Amino acid sequence: FQPVRDLQAPVMSGYISKLGNSSFMKIWKKRYFILRQDNCLYYYKNDQENDPLGALPLCGYTISRHTDTSKDFCFKAEKYGARTYYFMTDNRDQLTEWVGALTEAAARSKKRKESFLSVSS
Ligand code: 4IP
């Protein structure tokens, strides 16, 4: 069991484009993303902002490459019954790093939930 000292500590950060969710206009927006120790992916208008525009708790999400598009370097976060998020990085290295980091975070959050449930039951 590893205690988590600071749940807000950044694991990884950087600019990624995110596809808008509007039903009539799906537009790519570049946002500053921070994956934190709480296994939640926060996004900000830029790296100067303190208040996130949104946050995606990764528990239950599957992260994978998204190839069904004309764009390169896309990936998605899917969860049954929830919105699918689409992302786009600038290059292949970033794509590999983000998919890896988010996949690990989703797995960690699942483990954390399971250990919490086994302690509390
Ligand atoms: C917006 O499009 C942005 O893409 C928003 O992203 C997105 O919110 C909106 O989806 C979408 O309508 P316009 O700026 O062209 O209006 P961001 O918050 O990064 O600016 P999400 O939910 O993706 O944060 P809705 O469905 O939330 O309105």
pTM of the entire structure? 0.91
Atom from ligand 1 closest to the CA of residue 19: 4
- Contact between residue 17 and residue 41 where contact means Cβ atoms under 8 Å apart: no
- How many angstroms is it from 24 CA to the middle of ligand 1? 11
Q: Enumerate residues 6+ apart whose C-beta is below 8 A from 40.
A: 55, 56, 57, 58
pLDDT of 77 reads 98
Question: What is the pLDDT averaged over residues 91-116?
Answer: 94
pLDDT of 27 reads 94
- At 94, give phi and psi (nearest 5°): -60, -40
pLDDT of 119 reads 82
The protein residue whose alpha carbon is closest to atom 16 in ligand 1 is 22
pLDDT of 108 reads 94
pLDDT tens digits for range 37-54:
999 999 999 999 999 999
Question: What is the pLDDT averaged over residues 64-79?
Answer: 94
Question: With a 6 A CB cut-off, is 4 part of the ligand 1 pocket?
Answer: no
